[in-house]
Amino acid sequence: MQKIKYKRVILKISGEALAGDNKHGIDTDTINEISNRIEKIYKMGVEVAIVVGGGNFWRGRSGVGMDRTTADYMGMLATVINALGLQDALESKGIPTRVQTAIEMRQIAEPYIRRKAVRHLEKKRVVIFACGTGNPFFSTDTTAALRAAEIDAEVILLAKKVDAVYDSDPNINPNAQKFDRLSYLDILNKELGVMDSTAASLCKDNDIPIIVFGLDNPENIVKAVLGENIGTIINK
Ligand code: UDP
C-alpha cells in the first residue's frame, strides 16, 4: 500500500468541469465520472472537502450592466446547484456527504460552521462547500484557499480541463510551455490566469501548496494525493 502524502485535501472543482462538453449546466455522466475519481481517494482514507464553482450556470462578471453584488450573489447561488448535484452523485455511491453553505439556506443544507466541517471530515464524510465565501467580489478559487487555511487542509487540488499550467493556452498555441513547478510569486507576477491574485496571495501567506491537474486522466487524483509529480505544483 502506497503512502498517502496529503491526508486532508481541498478539491476545487470548477462549474465548467461539471458541464462536460456542453459548457453549460450539469452533465450527469460527467458528474458521475468525477464522483468515481473522488471515491478513489476517499476509499484510500483521504479526508476530502470540496469547493465547487458555479461558472457552468453564472459568473458575476457575466452580468454586464448589472449591479455587481447582485450578479455575484447569483453566482453564489449557482454553486449550490452544483453542490447538490455532486452530493447526489457521491451519495448514490454510498459516500456520506454534507453540504455547507456560506449563505444560510437551512432547508437545503447546513450553514458553514468550521468546527462542524472538521468533525464531518474526521467522521469520514465528504464535505462540499457551497456559496463561495458568502461575499461578492470573491471567487471560488479564493474560497478554496480560505477553507483550506481554516480546516488545515494540506493541499489544494485544483482540477482543471487542461492537465497543467502553461505559459499560453495549449489549445491555441501548440508550442505552449508547460510548467512542472511555479512559485506563488510566479502566479502573482506572470498573470498566468490559473487562479486569481486574491486566492494566490492567501495560499502564499498560509503556505498551502496547490496542485493543478487535469481530471480527464482517472489516475491523476490518486497520484496527486500520493505526492507523485503530475500537472503543476505551486508552492514557495
Ligand atoms: N462568487 C462570489 N463570491 C465568492 C465565490 C463566488 O461572489 O466567494 C460568485 C462570483 O460571481 C463568481 C460565481 O460566484 O463568478 C461563480 O464562482 P466562480 O466563477 O469562482 O466559479 P468557477 O469559475 O470555479 O466555476
ipTM of the shown complex: 0.97
Residue 75 pLDDT: 98
Residue 1 pLDDT: 67
Residue 107 pLDDT: 98
| pTM, to two decimals | 0.97
**Contacts of 217 by beta carbon, 8 Å cutoff, 6+ apart:** 163
Instruction: Output the CATH code of domain 8-235.
Output: 3.40.1160.10
Verify whether ligand 1 is closer than 6 Å to residue 47 (CB atom). no
> Do residues 164 and 158 touch, judged by C-beta distance below 8 A?
no
Q: Cα angle vertex 190, ends 164, 217, to 5°?
A: 5
For residue 183 the three cell numbers come to 512559485
Q: Is 75 marked as a binding-site residue?
A: no
Distance 136 CA to ligand 1 centre (A): 8
CA distance 47 to 122: 7
Mean pLDDT by 10 residues, the chain (236 residues): 92 95 94 97 98 97 94 98 98 98 98 98 98 98 98 96 91 94 95 92 98 92 96 96
CA 177 vs. chain centroid, Å, equals 24
Q: CA nearest 147: which of 7, 13, 9?
A: 9
Residue 215 pLDDT: 86
Ligand 1, closest atom to CA 62?
Answer: 15
Q: Whose CA is nearest to atom 22 of ligand 1?
A: 53
CA 203 vs. chain centroid, Å, equals 14
Residue 131 pLDDT: 98
For residue 166 the three cell numbers come to 502553461
DSSP 155: E
CB atoms within 10 A of CB 135: 15
Inter-helix orientation angle 197-206/140-151, to 10° = 10
Q: Whose CA is nearest to atom 23 of ligand 1?
A: 55
Indicate left, alpha or beta for 97 from its phi (over 0: left) and psi (-120 to 50: alpha): beta
